Amino acid sequence: MAKLARWCFQHRWLVLGLWVAALVGLAALGRATGDDYKDTFSLPGTDSQKAIDILERDFPAQSGDSATVVLHARTGTLTDPAIKAQVTDMVGQLAKLPHVAEVISPFSADGKGQINEAGTTAFATLALDLPGNELQISDIEHVVDTARDYDKGALQVEATGQVVANTEQTTSSTELIGIIAAAIILFVAFGSLLAVTLPLITALAALGVGLNLIIQVSHLTSVAEFSTMLATLIGLGVGIDYALFIVNRHRIGLRAGRSPEEAAVNAVNTSGRAVLFAGATVCIALLGLFALGVTFLYGVALAAALTVAMTMLSSVTLLPALLGFYGQKVLSRRERRRIAEHGPEPEAPSGFWWRWAKGVERRPAVLAVLSAVAIAVIAIPFFSLRLGSSDLGNGSEDKTTKRGYDLLAEGFGPGFNGPFSLVTDLSSGAGLQALNQAVAAARDTPGVASVTEPRQSPNGRAAIATLYPTSSPQSPETAKLLDRLRDDVIPTATAGAAAPVYVGGITAIFEDFAGVLSDKLPLFIGIVVVLAFILLVVVFRSLLIPLTASVMNLLAVGAAFGAVVAVFQWGWLSDLFGLSPGPIEAFLPVMLFAILFGLSMDYEVFLVSRMHEEWTARRDNRIAVSLGQAETGRVISAAGAIMTLVFAAFILGDERVIKLFGLGLALAIAIDAFVIRTILVPALMHLFGRANWWLPRGLDRVLPRVSVETSDDLAEAHQVPVPSDDYRDGVPAQPHESAESERTH
């Protein structure tokens, strides 16, 4: 690391040029190729996937995109001549628009059943000639605007459907808000405007390269639309934090009298190593998503891991080059003037963080219990977690899709927005008997509002019937109905049939998705925890520290899940966030766990690596823990505040999924930085004593030697004076006094 840092410092113009060239070149390439983001996934072996396969083969119209125009009579009924004339004229205008292949009016022969019994609510269906991701937003907006122009007088007109929802996604300035908040905290921490720009430039350069690389990755594999937003969220947070840790170490070196080059080399050789270990843990956690076997998450994991990798690379290459340009100006004018007048000032623990560390040392048991109980209370809602998928009904009331969704639910029943599809394959020569039997049995099943008559595909190779539940798509009763249909009703009704009847539809797809992820979640958590545990054992030569870190990270994740459930599922403060309560997205637990487990390891590595320096130099657990906490407390709290605010800024975004990630990540990082790393972990390490650093001799011999500290750092740590309140009978505590009593092996 020292050689790399020195080379980058001495060849700073070349390094800067390479980063600028990469950024400009990849941006130009991305503009030339365009992106190919796709929100597609498959669930092999599930009923819903088998139904999709049949529909795509024999009912291409059933698997394509469409939009729904919802009509509601504010007064009277829709059959009143004046209102009916408005609707007829609107349908005619919509049919003339580009990309509208067909419009089925509720007053046409094909539209039978598209008006409710009261005659107050109806809908017109629009078949589009292209998939939603191939349509221009302006074309969809033209359709919506044309329909909404008829919303006047007694007629209310709304447009709903996923295609319409694409036009309601607004571009927000959440990233800018997060950057401004980070800049303010950096200025408070550094006291220098120039120093503030270093972490920001480093993070933004890495983010720019990473996002442009993701564009190219989207041509190689399926990458979801929201992957770039998620990558931005993670990249900004970790990029600024990683650079902050290195810049902080560099400033300490300058104040201690090192030259800018030596300070930069030392910072990268110490904090830079910690950055690589921490970043590697984040990437391991993210790439662990491949263990789930769900292709939808592969692109998301690759995008996020690629962005984190770029932040690691920029921190150990671009940052030392920038430090070469800045020289002594990384320090504030006051600090430079003080050094000129009084000479170098080696870092020594003092002030608030030393007093705080000594307070934790004096009452470790009480503080450990109180902090653990507080985290456990926040995590309680997690045990009510219900996986599923939000839909247009969870949107804000100011959106036409939300209003249209509610009108359909009120006019046709809650289950109208999430019907099931009963699908069977007739290509083997089987007739409609099995599907007819399934339909008859389903109609007599509690929780079923209605089932349409079966109809065959144009080629006669498949048949489909639509089942409407009495409950909404997000209701637990709908999930129970799905299980009852699949496990009991349909198998019993079709026993001995030549072809099975599959239950599909969008609601069934999300239930299957939740089931697949829930089944594989223990394996995923086990893989990530074990890999991170092994990495920390190698770095810190300890069994107890990695075990404690794993448990602490799980606590932080549990607290994040608890907050997410309370707000997004129970509806606490939902008005403040502009959303309606509903189930938690099925993929959120695995994604949130992967991200949070990795990010939590960041602070563990930075905190314990400093403690490990002191332990290796002094062999005194008490001094090592207190000094390590005192010397990292300020920078970890600043880093935690930055990451918390960057993540919290995304709560202000428009997409519910991003709001979920923003709240979960912000709260988890706040708890991790300000409770777990400043209270719980140091308190437990004081209670565990020398057991923290125990490693069996046999295991110590076979494990590779990987260290965050260098020999120079250990020598420096040995010289760090212990503040006066650690003196005993007026004599400073000597490192050798506890070396024998606390030597582990």
Q: Is pLDDT of 425 > 80?
A: yes
289 and 590 Cβ atoms separated by less than 8 Å? yes
Helix H segments across 433-573?
433-443, 476-484, 490-493, 506-540, 544-564
Write the Ramachandran bin of 124: left for phi over 0, alpha for psi from -120 to 50, otherwise beta.
beta
Q: Checking DSSP bridges between strand 462-469 and strand 455-456, what pairing results, if any?
A: antiparallel
**Cα distance between residue 124 and residue 296, in whole Å:** 32
Q: Is pLDDT of 184 > 80?
A: yes
653 and 171 Cβ atoms separated by less than 8 Å? no
CB under 8 A, 24+ apart: contacts of 431-439: 432/456, 432/463, 433/497, 434/494, 434/497, 434/498, 434/499, 434/500, 434/501, 435/463, 435/465, 435/501, 437/493, 437/494, 437/497, 438/465, 438/489, 438/490, 438/493, 438/494, 438/501, 439/465
77 and 118 Cβ atoms separated by less than 8 Å? yes
Q: Can you give 517-542 as a three-state secondary structure string?
A: HHHHHHHHHHHHHHHHHHHHHHHHCC
Determine the topology of domain 65-168 in CATH: Alpha-Beta Plaits (3.30.70)
Name every residue whose Cβ is closer than 8 Å to that of residue 254 and which is 6 or more positions away in sequence: 260, 263, 328, 330, 331, 339
Confidence of residue 322 (pLDDT cuts 50, 70, 90): very high
**Cα distance between residue 140 and residue 389, in whole Å:** 24
125 and 66 Cβ atoms separated by less than 8 Å? yes
**Cα distance between residue 598 and residue 46, in whole Å:** 31
Which two three-digit tokens encode residue 532? 């991170």
Dihedral sign for Cα atoms in the order 418, 588, 205, 22: negative
Q: What is the dihedral of CA 360, 361, 362, 367, to 10 degrees?
A: 40
pLDDT at residue 514, as a whole number: 84
**Cα distance between residue 137 and residue 170, in whole Å:** 12
558 and 379 Cβ atoms separated by less than 8 Å? yes
Helix H segments across 288-363?
295-316, 318-326, 333-342, 351-362
Confidence of residue 712 (pLDDT cuts 50, 70, 90): low
pLDDT at residue 348, as a whole number: 64
pLDDT at residue 320, as a whole number: 94
Which two three-digit tokens encode residue 403? 């209003």
DSSP state of 421: E
Q: Is pLDDT of 508 > 60?
A: yes
pLDDT at residue 162, as a whole number: 73
Largest CA-CA distance found in the chain, in angstroms, rounded: 100
DSSP string, 239-268: HHHHHHHHHHHHHHHHHTT--HHHHHHHHH
**Cα distance between residue 207 and residue 477, in whole Å:** 44
pLDDT at residue 38, as a whole number: 76
Confidence of residue 645 (pLDDT cuts 50, 70, 90): confident
Q: Is pLDDT of 186 > 90?
A: no
- CB neighbours of residue 455 within 10 Å: 13
Question: Which tens digit of pLDDT belongs to each residue from 367-394?
Answer: 999 999 999 999 999 998 888 776 666 6
Average confidence score pLDDT of the chain? 83
Question: Does residue 465 sit in helix, strand or coil?
Answer: strand
**Cα distance between residue 205 and residue 259, in whole Å:** 26
**Cα distance between residue 487 and residue 510, in whole Å:** 18
State the average pLDDT over residues 147-161: 89
Helix H segments across 47-173?
47-58, 81-95, 137-148, 162-165
State the average pLDDT over residues 508-536: 85
Confidence of residue 735 (pLDDT cuts 50, 70, 90): very low
Which two three-digit tokens encode residue 538? 């190698």
Determine the topology of domain 375-396+517-711 in CATH: Multidrug efflux transporter AcrB transmembrane fold (1.20.1640)
Backbone φ, ψ for residue 448 (5° rounding): -105, 120
Question: Does residue 162 sit in helix, strand or coil?
Answer: helix
pLDDT at residue 647, as a whole number: 84
**Cα distance between residue 280 and residue 708, in whole Å:** 13
DSSP state of 8: H
436 and 454 Cβ atoms separated by less than 8 Å? yes
**Cα distance between residue 422 and residue 466, in whole Å:** 6
Single pTM value for the model: 0.78
**Cα distance between residue 10 and residue 15, in whole Å:** 9
CA angle 99, 104, 106 (to 5 degrees): 145
Question: Which tens digit of pLDDT belongs to each residue from 162-172?
Answer: 778 777 766 55
**Cα distance between residue 34 and residue 27, in whole Å:** 10
Question: Which tens digit of pLDDT belongs to each residue from 36-89?
Answer: 887 666 788 888 888 888 887 877 655 446 788 999 999 888 889 999 999 999
Confidence of residue 733 (pLDDT cuts 50, 70, 90): very low
State the average pLDDT over residues 264-289: 86
CA angle 196, 650, 565 (to 5 degrees): 130
**Cα distance between residue 617 and residue 513, in whole Å:** 52
The ranges assigned to domains in the chain are 1-34+174-258+291-347, 65-168, 375-396+517-711
Q: What share of the chain is helix, strand, coil (3-state, %, to 5)?
A: 70, 10, 25
Confidence of residue 208 (pLDDT cuts 50, 70, 90): very high
The fraction of the chain above a pLDDT of 70, given in percent, is 89
Q: Quick one: which of 42, 275, 40 has its CA closest to 134?
A: 40
pLDDT at residue 171, as a whole number: 55
Tokens 């995590």 map to which residue? 379
Tokens 């409609």 map to which residue? 432
Q: Is pLDDT of 737 > 60?
A: no
Q: Is pLDDT of 431 > 80?
A: no
pLDDT at residue 719, as a whole number: 54
CA atoms within a 13 Å half-sphere pointing along the CA-CB vector of 246: 38
Q: Quick one: which of 221, 286, 186, 202 has its CA closest to 36?
A: 221
DSSP state of 115: B
| Residue 721, Cβ density class (10 Å: 0-12 exposed, 13-18 middle, ≥19 buried) | exposed
pLDDT at residue 743, as a whole number: 37
